[in-house]
Amino acid sequence: MAEQPAGAPAAPTDATEGDFTFTLNGRPARGRKGEMLIAAAERAGVFIPRFCYHPRMKSVGVCRMCLVEVTGPRGAALQPSCYLEVTEGMEVVTDSPKVKKAQDGVLEFLLVNHPLDCPVCDKGGECPLQDQTLAYGPGESRFVEEKRHFEKPIPISDLVLLDRERCIQCSRCTRFAAEVAGEAQIDFSGRGEMIEVSTFPDEPFSSYFSGNTVQICPVGALTAVPYRFTARPWDLDQVESTCTTCAMGCRVAVQSSANRLTRILGIDSEPVNHGWLCDKGRFAFESVNAEDRITQPMVRRDGELVPTTWSEALDQAAAGLRRAMTDGGPEAIGVLGGARLTNEGAYLWARLAKGVIGTDSVDAQLGDGLPAETVLGLPRATIAEAASAATVVLLCGDLREELPVAFLRLRAAAVDGTTALVELAPQRSALTPLTTSFLQYRPGDVVELARALTGTGGPPQGVDAGALESARQHLGSGDVVVVLGRPSLAEDGAMVAEAAEVLAGLPGVRFLSALRRGNIHGALDMGLAPGVLPGRVGLEEGGAWFERAWGSVPARRGRDCTGILSSAAGAGDDESRVTALVLLGSEPSVDVPDRDLARRGLGGASFVVAVTSSPGEAVDRADVVLPAAEAHERPGTTTNIEGRVSRVAQKLVPPGQAWPDWMIASELARYMGSDMGIDSMAAVWAEIERLAPAYAGITADVLDAPWARDGVVAPFAGAPVSQAAVPLDPIAVPGVESVERQGAPPRAGSAVTPTAGPDGQVTVEQGTGGQGEGRPPVLAGPAGINAPHVAPTDSYSFRLVVGRTLYDGGTAVAMSEALTPLVTSAPLRVNPHDLDDLGITTGDLVRVRTARDSVVVPVAADPGLARKVVATELNVPFGDVTAGDLIDATSPVVELRLETP
């Protein structure tokens, strides 16, 4: 039995817990130091009505709805309970006639100017103002005058509309923007009853987090374009799930009406998202509803894709793959993608590829990731550990663009002043202004910089010596977490991995992955990468174990994405050439940074199977198309950046004949002559738990336990990580507390439930931590990466940095009506002095020459870049091309020449 962790399973109202006693309505209650009275009362089971109070933001005490009577030195007085810290011996009354009258009064005042719009208001039916008026308000209106009038709704951004007549001036939205997102783009203007939420002239509310304001607005003043008027709350059906738009794994409530998704709301998960979502995660559900989904199996006949039956499609797929194997052995088959799958789907596809077909040339990362052994083997930190570390080293892309809610968590840590940020990057990010040291390096110099940081080498040229010194001091004091991703897609991931392994030499350092794609961590954990097998084990160490279970495993290490595509394109040794590709929800020409390689690889393969839900180049090239169910259309589990395994829920019936991903793998195996013995998703999970070492102990019962609502981190330490099951902001997650959970209902007696020992200590059945029972060990320690050496350049060359932007040309955005207009074009950003040297300025065109190509694109000055470094973003319009056309995956850095066209 391990020590009982602090986050022990909490009863919904843990009223007995606290540092001292105070009196609440004549009865003793427990308060915590620094706790607001409103929260202490809520824990004690007394709900005080509120509008402006939000437990994740600083109190402002403006709506005055939460007034209660508090006895002070001068007798009882009305005090805002959201603004008053509970103290020992405090005497509080929340239900006296005086309190009741004050609360009635505030509600009546709020209704003075509030239009009685309820029948046409999106909030009607789930409105805290409506609800609290019914519960606490006066019976009838004494207000007979003319109400305040404003033009009805005005757009304050592309996604959010504001109805000023409905606003009750609670400042939740303005505080969210300033305090949580750090983008004070909305604020009040005017005064008295004409006070209104405003944007600044000509500056829309362009935050990636704007949808949160809609969710936390206690009335229908803020509405979101994709949801407006689509449904009435009482027609909505909802389940709790996890967002897989990126790898953060935010908890969500997924709502639908008539088998269409209508809305996604954030659920407050203490370890992960604190209730917030990014707008992409919130609104990209439109892509699931999209009209042009792939919903039918198809096969190519006489050059044309034609709809067919599942059995014919599977038969053709199996035949094509078998043919490739007969000609070139199992390694003739390459499998690309998998980050859009559930863990169950990823596992079965890994088993199909590695155990049935026998190829290790499988990669869920599409040239934009890091070697799997590095990601899986380095010591791990949770998000919460990163957000409370003394120092966080950012060795990743711009988190606001790639893992938006992770950005919010780290921003909060930096703003609170508890965490020092040290950033290693070739260009500035949204967190750069909050860093204590920003170490800007030239693409190619990252390993050298890591050595300098750990004191094992001299600093690379151009790195600020003061910043380096200060960073080294921070690394020497307190715990360090490295957030590890890809600072630039035009720089070889192996170099970043090697840099990470250098940093792994720091004492006590831990790593939090910043790989961004959906369920990429689940896919890697399930073995969808060369050299690894399910459960974070190496091919070598785990080979025997999985051979026993599966019958066989690949004979040798396979190729990664770049290797697979290069081989398919015809490069390299002929004898084991990749001739058949299986695309698992991947779209190489969009997902793989090196676009040219993607096209050549796809074009060079003689047989392509696309398992997908959306049209694109992969489908256009495919010989067999197998329609897959999308997120929200199948249940399962997903694993986020910290290795947290949580349930994703099915809310919709998949369209047409689309199947869940695990079922496609299982059936295809059968058509290939191998019965994997799987007949349900639950059976897949049971097999994962049994075979995948890092997932040992995470049984379905564990995932369904009430304390595991936020999921559990793999490897399972046997400790519940969940917080009390009270919704933190009950007025912004209407009805979510009653959300139905997916999966088997916990069976009496069989679930892992906490039991109270004789000493009253709550203990939980212990997990195995992934070890024992003959399971192979999980990967631990650096993989020993040796990145290619970068040759020095001549003084005319520029080096390219390619970052990401949240609204890119990826599938989720491209297929979401509300988000597509937000995709902007990306100029080539150049240091202004370099522009001067070229004699051009922002808006002009420049000719870019790479070793491969020459393109003409517009430029913009960026004083944040070093000299001789240029930058742009992947997958957004970039002149007539995309940045991917400049990237060469086979070269460690991308060098360019700039010329006036």
Partner 1 sequence: MAVTDAPRIVTARIDHPDSYTLERALATGAYEGLRKALTMTPEAVAAEVDAASLLGRGGAGFPAGRKWAMLRQSPVTYLVVNGDESEPATFKDHLLVERDPHQLIEGVVIAAYALQVTRAFIFLRGEFALGLERVQAALNEAYAHGAVGADIFGSGFSVDIVVHPGAGAYICGEETSLLESLEGKRGFPRIKPPFFPAAIGLYGEPTVVNNVETMSNLPWIVTNGGAAFAALGEGRSTGTRLFALAGHVRNPGVYELEMAKTTFADLINAPVLGGGVRHGRELKAFIPGGVSAPWFGPDQIDLPLGQDEVGAAGSMLGSGSVVVMDDHTCAVRASWRITKFFSRESCGQCTPCREGSGWLERIMERIETGRGRPDDLDLLLDACDNIAPGLTWPPQQTTICVLGPSIPSSIHSAITMFRDEFLTHIKEGGCPHG
Phi/psi at 68 (5° precision):
-135, 165
Q: Which residues contact 262 (CB under 8 A, 6 or more apart)?
A: 227, 230, 231, 236, 255, 256
Select from ligand FES, partner 1, ligand SF4, none the partner in contact with residue 411, using the beta carbon and a kind-dependent cut-off of 5 to 8 Å: none
The H-or-E segment that residue 833 falls in is helix 832-838
3-class secondary-structure state, position 470: helix
53 binds ligand FES, rule: CB under 6 A? yes
> How many CA within 13 A on the CB side of residue 270?
16
Closest CA to 633 of 285, 247, 268, 235: 285
CA dist list (Å): 864 to 45, 230, 428, 441, 870: 53, 43, 6, 12, 10
In the window 204-223, what residues touch ligand SF4 (CB under 6 A)? 217-219, 221-222
CB 386 within 8 A of CB 403: no
66 binds ligand FES, rule: CB under 6 A? yes
# binding residues, ligand FES (CB under 6 A) = 12
Select from ligand FES, ligand SF4, partner 1, none the partner in contact with residue 487, using the beta carbon and a kind-dependent cut-off of 5 to 8 Å: none
Select from partner 1, ligand SF4, ligand FES, none the partner in contact with residue 98, using the beta carbon and a kind-dependent cut-off of 5 to 8 Å: partner 1
Packing angle, helices 595-604 and 561-568, rounded to 10: 50
62 binds ligand FES, rule: CB under 6 A? yes
Select from partner 1, ligand FES, ligand SF4, none the partner in contact with residue 108, using the beta carbon and a kind-dependent cut-off of 5 to 8 Å: partner 1
216 binds ligand FES, rule: CB under 6 A? no
Q: What single-letter amino acid sits at 625?
A: V
In the window 384-413, what residues touch ligand FES (CB under 6 A)? none
One residue of 66, 106, 277, 739 binding ligand SF4 per CB under 6 A = 277
Select from ligand FES, ligand SF4, partner 1, none the partner in contact with residue 109, using the beta carbon and a kind-dependent cut-off of 5 to 8 Å: partner 1
3-class secondary-structure state, position 752: coil
CB of 658 to ligand FES, least distance (A): 46
The region of 105-113, 267-275, 642-650, 712-720 touching partner 1 under the rule CB under 8 A is 105-113
CA distance 212 to 162: 14
What character string, x for contact with partner 1 (CB under 8 A) and - otherwise, covers 45-74?
---------------xxxxxx-x-------
In the window 159-218, what residues touch partner 1 (CB under 8 A)? 168-169, 187-188, 190-195
Q: Which two tokens stand for residue 108?
A: 């009546």
CB of 191 to partner 1, least distance (A): 5
CB 343 within 8 A of CB 522: yes
Select from ligand SF4, ligand FES, partner 1, none the partner in contact with residue 145, using the beta carbon and a kind-dependent cut-off of 5 to 8 Å: partner 1
The region of 16-24, 59-67, 697-705, 836-844 touching ligand FES under the rule CB under 6 A is 59-67
CB of 244 to ligand SF4, least distance (A): 7
CB 520 within 8 A of CB 530: no
CB of 153 to ligand SF4, least distance (A): 11
What character string, x for contact with partner 1 (CB under 8 A) and - otherwise, covers 132-161?
----------xx-xx-x-------------
CA 234 to chain centre: 29
- Residue closer to partner 1 by CB (options 53, 685) is 53
CA distance 721 to 5: 8
In the window 231-250, what residues touch ligand SF4 (CB under 6 A)? 243, 245-246, 248-250
- Residue closer to ligand SF4 by CB (options 127, 752) is 127
In the window 243-302, what residues touch ligand FES (CB under 6 A)? none
| Residue 433 DSSP one-character state | G
C-alpha angle 375/691/698, rounded to 5°? 75
| Residue 584 DSSP one-character state | E
DSSP string of 576-633, one letter each residue: T---EEEEES--HHHHSS-HHHHHHHHHH-SEEEEEESS-SHHHHH-SEEEEB--TTS
CB of 588 to ligand FES, least distance (A): 52
CA distance 404 to 246: 9
Q: Which two tokens stand for residue 19?
A: 């540092």
C-alpha angle 73/74/79, rounded to 5°? 90
CA distance 835 to 850: 18
CA distance 376 to 781: 9
50 binds ligand FES, rule: CB under 6 A? yes
- Residue closer to partner 1 by CB (options 114, 775) is 114
CA dist list (Å): 368 to 562, 615, 841: 10, 22, 31
Tokens 């203007």 belong to residue = 189
What character string, x for contact with ligand FES (CB under 6 A) and - otherwise, covers 69-108?
-----------x-x--------------------------
Select from ligand FES, partner 1, ligand SF4, none the partner in contact with residue 221, using the beta carbon and a kind-dependent cut-off of 5 to 8 Å: ligand SF4
One residue of 36, 44, 67, 167 binding ligand SF4 per CB under 6 A = 167
104 binds partner 1, rule: CB under 8 A? yes
# binding residues, partner 1 (CB under 8 A) = 37
Closest CA to 857 of 819, 827, 889, 821: 827
- Residue closer to ligand SF4 by CB (options 517, 600) is 517
Select from partner 1, ligand FES, ligand SF4, none the partner in contact with residue 50, using the beta carbon and a kind-dependent cut-off of 5 to 8 Å: ligand FES
Strands 895-899 and 298-301: unpaired
Select from partner 1, ligand FES, ligand SF4, none the partner in contact with residue 66, using the beta carbon and a kind-dependent cut-off of 5 to 8 Å: ligand FES
What character string, x for contact with ligand FES (CB under 6 A) and - otherwise, covers 9-48?
----------------------------------------
64 binds ligand FES, rule: CB under 6 A? yes
Beta bridge partners of 491: 893
Closest CA to 246 of 351, 368, 394: 368
CA distance 579 to 343: 27
731 binds ligand FES, rule: CB under 6 A? no
641 binds ligand FES, rule: CB under 6 A? no
51 binds ligand FES, rule: CB under 6 A? yes
What character string, x for contact with ligand SF4 (CB under 6 A) and - otherwise, covers 255-274?
------------------x-
One residue of 261, 405, 529, 533 binding ligand SF4 per CB under 6 A = 405
217 binds ligand FES, rule: CB under 6 A? no
The H-or-E segment that residue 439 falls in is strand 437-440
Tell me the three-class secondary structure of 150-213, residue by residue: CCCCEECCCCEEECCCCCCCCCHHHHHHHHHCCCCCEEEECCHHHCEEEEECCECCCCCCHHHH
CA distance 262 to 226: 8
Select from ligand SF4, partner 1, ligand FES, none the partner in contact with residue 246, using the beta carbon and a kind-dependent cut-off of 5 to 8 Å: ligand SF4
Q: Which residues contact 188 (CB under 8 A, 6 or more apart)?
A: 169, 171, 174, 195, 196, 197, 198
The region of 55-63, 332-340, 618-626, 846-854 touching ligand FES under the rule CB under 6 A is 55-63
> What counts of helices (H) and strands (E) characterise the chain?
27, 38
CB 205 within 8 A of CB 157: yes
Closest CA to 51 of 158, 166, 182, 153: 166
- Residue closer to ligand SF4 by CB (options 8, 78) is 78
Q: What single-letter amino acid sits at 804?
A: R
- Residue closer to partner 1 by CB (options 54, 340) is 54
Residues lying near ligand SF4 in the complex (CB under 6 A): 167-173, 197, 217-219, 221-222, 243, 245-246, 248-250, 273, 277-278, 280-281, 403-405
Residues lying near partner 1 in the complex (CB under 8 A): 60-65, 67, 77-78, 80, 83, 98, 101-102, 104-106, 108-110, 112-113, 142-143, 145-146, 148, 168-169, 187-188, 190-195
Residues lying near ligand FES in the complex (CB under 6 A): 50-53, 61-66, 80, 82
